[in-house]
Structure 1
């Protein structure tokens, strides 16, 4: 069974998460250094600390509606606050006493956590799962107004790495990847989100 790890770029105050958006949402967010309309506060938004996982999901920013990659520095306090309210998207008997308990919690969850295989530079699955966190409309305002410290346009970096890959210059591409390390979590929090 794959182990679950949070791999991220982080410092003492912040953690970087990634999101892929169309220009209509991304450009105003970069300009204002915060999410503004047409970004919606009324639907779930998914944040991912793994750069390569998002590259796989957005096909290096080539998928329609995901052309721009944003690197969002958010407070570690906000990140851990979100995880403290999280419910897994799939039943895990090592986390929940019963399927019914999980189903009830999932129904009312403000935050969803999903584990998916981490990826290599070439998009192959690794035997480690990476986290993605779904913030519901009940918590998005905190993410936007309190937890977001900085929004950077990571699209030029993505294009550069992708071009190097297309040219077969994998070693050079690897050097440009954000430095991600295993993020330390308090045990109670780790248990809540099914880390093993």
Structure 2
């Protein structure tokens, strides 16, 4: 008994999809879900697949009227669901049940907002900018080029405010030399003192 038998590939006619291709197509999968949701006869699945393929082809030719209609209809349905759940939340006596209804209502409200945002992006897509270099961060500076001559001259030295000489801490209690503005500054004399302390 020989185990190394070669399997001949099955030739199919062009335009004749296999069962696997049919069963995994997006249109077929959506049609099975729609059939189950609406309790339709399974004989109508071919008709559903045909309709879904037409709608898919329209999107491929940049006709977005069907997706736009679908999104606005879904937004209205979600808004109605929000109103129903919010009204039901206010009609119950139990605070725990009211909180559950309000959580569901606010989820429906958020989904309405997301659906409308998707519709807005579909109508007016965001502009995409292709840049040579993107730096993402907080307070990032990128110098793509030569360093200016002035920048080469600047040298980072120690903080001169805290030290008189390098490595020796400044004694803040000691007297220091007068500044350059008023070198003759001295204590207030008797002439300028107030009469009462």
Q: Which has the larger radius of gyration?
A: 2
Name whichever structure is richer in strand by fraction: 1
**TM-score of Structure 1 vs Structure 2, range by shorter chain:** under 0.3
Higher relative contact order (CA 8 A, sep 6+): 1
Name whichever structure is richer in helix by fraction: 2
TM-score (norm 1): 0.20
TM-score (norm 2): 0.20
